[in-house]
Amino acid sequence: MNYSIILYILGHILELEAVFMLLPCITALFYQETAGLAFLITALLCLVIGFPLTRKKPKKKAFYAKEGMVTVSFCWIALSMIGAVPFVICGAIPNPIDAFFEIVSGFTTTGSSILSDPSLMPHCVNMWRCFSHWIGGMGILVFVLALMPMTGGYHMNLMKAESPGPSVGRLLPKVQGTAKVLYQIYLVLTAALVLLLLLGRMSLFEALCTAFGTAGTGGFGVKADSLGGYSTYIQVVVTIFMILFGVNFNVYFLLLTRKFRQALKFEELRYYLFVILGAAALITWDIRGLYENVFRALQQSFFQVGSIITTTGFSTADFNQWPTVSKTILVMLMFIGACAGSTGGGIKVSRFLILGKSARKELVLYLHPNAVKKVKMDGKPIAHDVIRATNVYITFYILVFSVSLLLISFDGYDLVTNFTAVAATINNIGPGLELVGATGNYSIFSGFSKLVLSFDMLAGRLEMFPLLLLFARDTWKKF
């Protein structure tokens, strides 16, 4: 294990977190809030720890997949632990476990909160909560790769360990170039959303917070009713952008390079849009009697479907009160998730496609044992290691989900609350049903359960393997 390079990258992450904390500091200065001192103190702490780690470049440059997984896990854990410190110092969330849960939910773009009314928090605290979504949406290490001219051939191992989806490829010959392109697209889409929200007469503070939550598909709001109190225009704009941020960013790159046919060939994109349209249509029909007209029902349906499938977690209605059919569809969407290579969470549409195609292949082989059939996507054969990794991922996913459900059940809450709480955290969604629904929060759980759910959020964002490998003996074994 190359510990020197791991500590070197960790140092850069802490230095970058110190820079990120300037935004809540500026917000506190603008609103004249003393809570901003907590962020300034924490930023200095980041520099005190991070600066010595980056002064000496490691001599050993070898950096393999194992180091990539461990680095990503350590960086996300350290980022969250330090990111929770301002909440405790300023007294906004005095309980360290609650503070850790809240910021893990932010960085992993989950949006599950222990706060009943975020509007009671200082502006700088809400800015940090929402900005953490934007930081974690594309990935903190992807951001580092975009800025730092790293050498040694380990770029791809970091990107693969952090990027969501069954496989990761380069958009450009150099990984640093790929990271820059991804963040340029991310920035442009975020800026466009902020502008449109300002046109809808949102304040700059609320527009930034909402845009950060939408871009990172996170869902932290600054009001108790999430986006329920905003105009239909605001809700429609956010709906469109939630769906856009749930699309594989490779599609946008192909569109920018005028490879329109290649962009439209993405099977995952077609199925992603098909699921959204189908789910919204079914829910609209099911809830049509709850609203004044079918158009209002359609708008509310599309918002909630877009919010859940992209794992954003914003809400405009208490869908706990919707009929059982609609709630069942929303729970199913929690597991499907967005596209690979997007800022969304969940299992991913592409994995379901791979599993479906693999199952169909096995059925054909039962009928025709001598047949030669390859699993294809976008007209190309899927590599065996991708299929194997997908099957292993689902196995670990079910295992972590089941154990987490068992562990939090000792708190004594009902099965629907517990099941959807785990589903909402491991899929990085935010709200569940019953006690953790759109009008509820996660403060009801014990400290132990919050730590379990925090682990689920990290495991879901990092897609199991990086975090689980920390517990494997061979990870630390010298060969």
Residue 152's pLDDT is what? 47
The dihedrals phi and psi of 155, each to the nearest 5 degrees, come to: -55, -50
Q: Which of the 8 DSSP states describes residue 188?
A: H
Q: Helix, strand, coil: what percent of the chain each, to 5? A: 70, 0, 30
pLDDT at 472 over 90: no
Distance between CA atoms of 445 and 456, rounded to whole angstroms? Answer: 14
Cβ(283)–Cβ(300) under 8 Å? Answer: no
Q: Which of the 8 DSSP states describes residue 383?
A: P
* Model pLDDT for residues 353-410, shown as the tens digit of each residue: 999 999 998 888 888 887 778 888 878 888 888 888 889 999 999 999 999 999 999 9
* Model pLDDT for residues 42-63, shown as the tens digit of each residue: 999 999 999 998 887 777 766 6
Residue 168's pLDDT is what? 46
Which residue reads 């330090």 in tokens?
82
In 3D space, the residue among 178, 143, 106 whose CA is nearest the CA of residue 15 turns out to be 143
pLDDT at 329 over 70: yes
pTM for the structure as a whole:
0.92
Residue spans of alpha helices (H) in 368-414? 384-408
Q: Which residue has the higher pLDDT, 138 or 429?
A: 429
Residue 277's pLDDT is what? 97
Range of weakest confidence among 68-72, 251-255, 324-328: 68-72
In 3D space, the residue among 58, 46, 134 whose CA is nearest the CA of residue 84 turns out to be 46
* Model pLDDT for residues 415-453, shown as the tens digit of each residue: 999 999 999 999 999 999 999 998 889 999 999 999 999
Which residue reads 């730590």 in tokens?
451
Reported confidence tier of residue 147, pLDDT bands at 50, 70, 90: low
Cβ(127)–Cβ(27) under 8 Å? Answer: yes
* Model pLDDT for residues 190-215, shown as the tens digit of each residue: 999 999 999 999 999 999 999 999 99
Residue 335's Cβ-count burial label (10 Å; 0-12, 13-18, 19+) is middle
Residue 381's pLDDT is what? 86
- Classify the C-alpha dihedral 83-84-85-86 as positive or negative: positive
Distance between CA atoms of 93 and 112, rounded to whole angstroms? Answer: 15
* Model pLDDT for residues 281-319, shown as the tens digit of each residue: 999 999 999 999 999 999 999 999 999 999 999 999 999
Reported confidence tier of residue 158, pLDDT bands at 50, 70, 90: low
pLDDT at 164 over 80: no
Residues in the chain: 479
Residues forming a β-bridge with 376? 381
Report CA dihedral (325, 328, 330, 332) to the nearest 10 degrees: -140
pLDDT at 68 over 90: no
Distance between CA atoms of 344 and 463, rounded to whole angstroms? Answer: 12
Q: Which residue has the higher pLDDT, 223 or 370?
A: 223
* Model pLDDT for residues 74-118, shown as the tens digit of each residue: 989 999 999 999 999 999 999 999 999 999 999 999 999 999 999
In 3D space, the residue among 247, 299, 254, 304 whose CA is nearest the CA of residue 273 turns out to be 247
Q: Which amino acid is at 192?
A: A
CA 119 to chain centre: 23
Distance between CA atoms of 216 and 245, rounded to whole angstroms? Answer: 8
Mapped onto helix, strand or coil, the DSSP state of residue 37 is: helix
- At residue 384's C-alpha, the angle toward residues 460 and 70, to 5°, is 40
Residue 172's pLDDT is what? 54
Helix (H) / strand (E) element for 239: namely helix 232-245
For the segment 227-254, the average pLDDT, to the nearest whole number, is 94
For the chain, percent of residues with pLDDT exceeding 70: 91
Could you give the angle at which helices 384-408 and 415-426 cross, rounded to 10 degrees? 140
In 3D space, the residue among 343, 293, 297 whose CA is nearest the CA of residue 319 turns out to be 297
Residue 4's pLDDT is what? 82
H helix and E strand count, the chain: 21, 2
Reported confidence tier of residue 260, pLDDT bands at 50, 70, 90: confident
